[in-house]
Chains A and B, each alone.
Chain A
Amino acid sequence: DTGVSQDPRHKITKRGQNVTFRCDPISEHNRLYWYRQTLGQGPEFLTYFQNEAQLEKSRLLSDRFSAERPKGSFSTLEIQRTEQGDSAMYLCASSLRQDEQYFGPGTRLTVT
């Protein structure tokens, strides 16, 4: 399968713990996006990378969130000191230039 992959698919954690998610984009895509989707809502933009550079971050991305894309390949999204309000589906997408974005299956986070 050469699509966007995300790991893990599901994560249950206790409040206050740190979690890290991984996204592997389509291999030739230089642009990578993270979105967050809560129940009954559409996905909301979190951050964007072009190659290894993080070029935009949403105000939704508090100081507890950090994203990286070393070497312009896979990306990680870390949430420190998780809160119940962080429970959501975290979606990753990639694209080539300004073409349409292709989404991964998402990581569902539940904070208890």
Chain B
Amino acid sequence: AQSVTQPDIHITVSEGASLELRCNYSYGATPYLFWYVQSPGQGLQLLLKYFSGDTLVQGIKGFEAEFKRSQSSFNLRKPSVHWSDAAEYFCAVNTGGFKTIFGAGTRLFVKA
């Protein structure tokens, strides 16, 4: 069965610093890969998605993610973090059909 691992429960970054959130997946083939963001008490919003093609994917709000098949990873990056980026970030996989499996999430704190 497919699974998603986000090894960092929480990360603290200074405003203006760069960010990288890690995600590893377990699946025999390349699944559909996603990053979602959730602010407290809110629903999830899609940041970006990857299935095939260019392994560097651009998303909304200045985020990007890089797919590395050899490492089964799909890490999320942002060159300069803003205070408004503080939220919970979920990596997710879909191997076809309706089931999207979410990782445990990484909580991002931004300090001034």
Q: Do A and B come from one complex?
A: no
